[in-house]
Chain A
């Protein structure tokens, strides 16, 4: 008989005698979802029970943030839900602004909304196309990745980087949006609706897709609320809770949009809710763009609030003037002390309510920073969603919940 190698998973007592099969799904599994593990007990194809293991990409963000002044925390927030980094960055900057008592001008709010809704579209695109890939339809994914490149080009114009953007400053943006950025935005607004319509028509009334997804991973509204679900997963279950509407931030109250709500909370409803949210985000971006264009003259040059202690000076000055260089260094290295306080601020990120709980004791760095991560909270419900169902439905449920490993583990 061959010897048994050292297994990463310890087989429990009686595992050879029992009637069910133990199947290990993850932590490395196809369709590049992220690293988390489900150990499932299967009776044929039906799932009897499942247990999750997370923490395979635990990078100790919260401890790292205790060492870093405010601006150095922004790159860490990028890596939470890395499919929509600008949302995390803006959420963090909004939290800092709440702590410091900074009020941003309207133009800044509208520009922020454009970037945040673009990030939301890019997040939902990945989720919906990966649901397609998991049911076997690879084409949709390849097709829409092209249009995510357009969104990346807009981020590049504003902040210089594609994926982990580190976009914006406390109080606004680092530079005004150039005409090139607006041209790229117009190109996106012109080309994308057709693409979304085609993508939607590939799946929404496709019989195979509907039969794969309807009924799988359903959850009732009461259970979802008890599990702390937020975001598209909660709205698919029937509860219309959206942080943008309930606690508006960054002037969301000036915009006209609706919240799509599902009925049963199954995979199909989640797909449709995310799809409809992309249409709503497009409409918000169009409204915001129109509003931004209404600012004329000197008003059109405003891209940040006036907070000299926390707003980094212009790069042209930093490279040429001594005072700006010193001031830039002081702010980044946290030589300006934070006011004492305790604040919780949340935004509607791609997956739900992303909250930042910041305690400051008057030092250079946060005393405690806790991220309320929606993925971590709703992944707890996974056993309840899949037990009793088939294995293939469990795979589709896992991808339709939009679990991003960076947000799961932090």
Chain B
């Protein structure tokens, strides 16, 4: 029996009820949202179940939605079932005030650096991560640059004139 999006949705709602929500199919990929502290349980379920078999973590990244108060930071997981060639995506939301998410690095070794990168860019604290420190930016940096509130350019540079670029 082919692994369809309806089947995955059915299995998830059967097991987790309303801890998983917001199902939609965008460009043939199933999208859903998981309640913040259930992310590891959902990942484990999708990994272990023989008919779901999502054992490859394609991508883990963060997104900042500044307009959704209380849910500003999201962690997006892309999973892939290599045998049946099915991909799914789910998000967990957390707030800027207490951005804590359980780490997936015990289950997927690939998540180790991806979570460090997400921490570096957004400040999301992954609970249980073995080595959560900055990876791409300078260690002494004191803010999380990819959040929308911070500008792209280095504000201390003197040789580029922002007026000329329409950013004065």
* Chains A and B directly touch (beta carbon < 8 Å): yes
Query: Which B residue sits closest to A410, measured CB to CB?
Result: B136
| Partner of B59 from A62, A368, A372 at Cβ < 8 Å | A372
* Whole-angstrom CA separation of A345 from B7 in the bound complex: 23
CB distance from B40 to the nearest CB of A (A): 16
Do the beta carbons of A381 and B109 come within 8 Å of each other? yes
B137 partner residues in chain A, CB cutoff 8 A: 55, 58
* Whole-angstrom CA separation of A403 from B146 in the bound complex: 25
Do the beta carbons of A409 and B136 come within 8 Å of each other? yes
Stretch at the interface among B11-19, B24-32, B93-101, B156-164: B24-32
Contact A368 B63, CB 8 Å, known A55-B137, A342-B31: yes
Say whether B57 faces chain A, with CB atoms less than 8 Å apart: yes
A342 partner residues in chain B, CB cutoff 8 A: 26-27, 31, 89
Say whether B76 faces chain A, with CB atoms less than 8 Å apart: yes
Do the beta carbons of A228 and B57 come within 8 Å of each other? yes
Contact A226 B152, CB 8 Å, known A55-B136, A344-B59, A368-B63: no
Say whether A370 faces chain B, with CB atoms less than 8 Å apart: yes
Say whether B102 faces chain A, with CB atoms less than 8 Å apart: no
Query: Which B residue sits closest to A384, measured CB to CB?
Result: B109
Chain B, range 67-122, C-beta contacts under 8 Å to A: 76, 78, 82, 85, 87, 89, 108-110, 112-114, 117, 121
Query: Which B residue sits closest to A377, measured CB to CB?
Result: B110
A194-237 Cβ-contact flags toward B at 8 Å (1 or 0): 00000000000000000000000000000101111000000000
Tell me the dominant secondary structure on chain B's binding face.
mixed
* Whole-angstrom CA separation of A410 from B121 in the bound complex: 12
A353 partner residues in chain B, CB cutoff 8 A: 58
Do the beta carbons of A241 and B152 come within 8 Å of each other? no
B29 partner residues in chain A, CB cutoff 8 A: 344
Say whether B8 faces chain A, with CB atoms less than 8 Å apart: no
Do the beta carbons of B110 and A63 come within 8 Å of each other? no
CB distance from B129 to the nearest CB of A (A): 13
A346 partner residues in chain B, CB cutoff 8 A: 58
CB distance from A55 to the nearest CB of B (A): 4
* Whole-angstrom CA separation of A66 from B65 in the bound complex: 13
A373-390 Cβ-contact flags toward B at 8 Å (1 or 0): 000110111000000000
Do the beta carbons of A58 and B136 come within 8 Å of each other? yes
Do the beta carbons of B61 and A370 come within 8 Å of each other? yes
A381 partner residues in chain B, CB cutoff 8 A: 109
Chain A, range 150-189, C-beta contacts under 8 Å to B: none
Say whether A142 faces chain B, with CB atoms less than 8 Å apart: no
Say whether A357 faces chain B, with CB atoms less than 8 Å apart: yes
Say whether A330 faces chain B, with CB atoms less than 8 Å apart: no
Contact A370 B59, CB 8 Å, known A226-B108, A341-B27: yes
A246 partner residues in chain B, CB cutoff 8 A: 82, 85
Say whether B56 faces chain A, with CB atoms less than 8 Å apart: yes
The winner among A98, A223, A228, A381 for most chain B CB atoms within 10 A is: A228
Question: Number of B residues whose C-beta is below 8 Å from A?
Answer: 34
B31 partner residues in chain A, CB cutoff 8 A: 342
| Partner of A344 from B87, B121, B138 at Cβ < 8 Å | B87
| Partner of A355 from B58, B64, B145 at Cβ < 8 Å | B58
Do the beta carbons of A380 and B112 come within 8 Å of each other? yes
The winner among B58, B85, B134 for most chain A CB atoms within 10 A is: B58
Do the beta carbons of A344 and B89 come within 8 Å of each other? yes
Do the beta carbons of B63 and A359 come within 8 Å of each other? yes
Say whether B135 faces chain A, with CB atoms less than 8 Å apart: yes
B117 partner residues in chain A, CB cutoff 8 A: 376
Say whether A300 faces chain B, with CB atoms less than 8 Å apart: no
* Whole-angstrom CA separation of A64 from B152 in the bound complex: 7
| Partner of B110 from A64, A98, A227, A368 at Cβ < 8 Å | A227
Do the beta carbons of A357 and B78 come within 8 Å of each other? yes
Do the beta carbons of B27 and A343 come within 8 Å of each other? yes
Do the beta carbons of B58 and A98 come within 8 Å of each other? no
Say whether A67 faces chain B, with CB atoms less than 8 Å apart: yes
Do the beta carbons of A372 and B113 come within 8 Å of each other? no
* Whole-angstrom CA separation of A227 from B114 in the bound complex: 11
Query: Which A residue sits closest to B27, measured CB to CB?
Result: A343
* Whole-angstrom CA separation of A359 from B152 in the bound complex: 18
Contact A372 B146, CB 8 Å, known A54-B135, A228-B110, A377-B114: no
Query: Which A residue sits closest to B138, measured CB to CB?
Result: A55
CB distance from B90 to the nearest CB of A (A): 12
A139 partner residues in chain B, CB cutoff 8 A: none
CB distance from A223 to the nearest CB of B (A): 8
Do the beta carbons of B76 and A357 come within 8 Å of each other? yes
Contact A377 B113, CB 8 Å, known A60-B152, A64-B152, A228-B56: yes
B44 partner residues in chain A, CB cutoff 8 A: none
Do the beta carbons of A55 and B135 come within 8 Å of each other? yes
A52-80 Cβ-contact flags toward B at 8 Å (1 or 0): 00110010101110110000000000000
* Whole-angstrom CA separation of A346 from B27 in the bound complex: 13
Do the beta carbons of B85 and A63 come within 8 Å of each other? no
* Extra pairs beyond A58-B137, A355-B58, A372-B59 (19, CB < 8 Å): A54-B136, A60-B145, A63-B146, A63-B152, A64-B152, A98-B27, A225-B82, A226-B110, A342-B27, A342-B31, A346-B58, A355-B59, A357-B78, A368-B64, A370-B76, A372-B58, A372-B78, A377-B110, A380-B110
The 10 closest A-B pairs by CB, nearest first: A228-B110, A55-B136, A58-B136, A370-B61, A372-B59, A380-B113, A227-B109, A226-B109, A368-B63, A343-B27
